[in-house]
Amino acid sequence: MELETLQQLRELSADDLRQRAGGLRKELFSLRVHQVSGRVERPSQFRELRRQLARVLTLLSAQPSTSPPAVAKKKRGRQ
């Protein structure tokens, strides 16, 4: 998976970011499996993937949600 710049990630929609996060998680898992079998050529790839995933998740949490905010219910009881 190609690593994108922050500017390129900001242009993506929330759905695209969620898809990208899922893909990065799968790729990171695959890399861990290869590490166990000793077939990782570039160990620095772990850091790159983790940071890219963090960028995507940060942008997702910074975007306003499309669902209405949850309203806290008042507790009923003695006043």
Q: Do 12 and 20 touch, CB atoms closer than 8 A?
A: yes
CATH of domain 6-62: 1.10.287
Compute the average pLDDT of residues 17-44.
92
Give the burial string for 34-44 (b: 16+ CB within 10 Å, else e).
eeeeeeeeeee
Q: Which are the contacts of 56, defined by CB distance < 8 A and separation ≥ 6? A: 9, 17, 20, 21, 24
Grade residue 10 by pLDDT with cuts at 50, 70 and 90: confident
Interval 42-64: pLDDT, tens: 889 999 999 999 999 999 998 87
The pLDDT of residue 68: 54
Please tell me the distance from the alpha carbon of residue 37 to that of residue 63, in angstroms, as a whole number.
Answer: 39
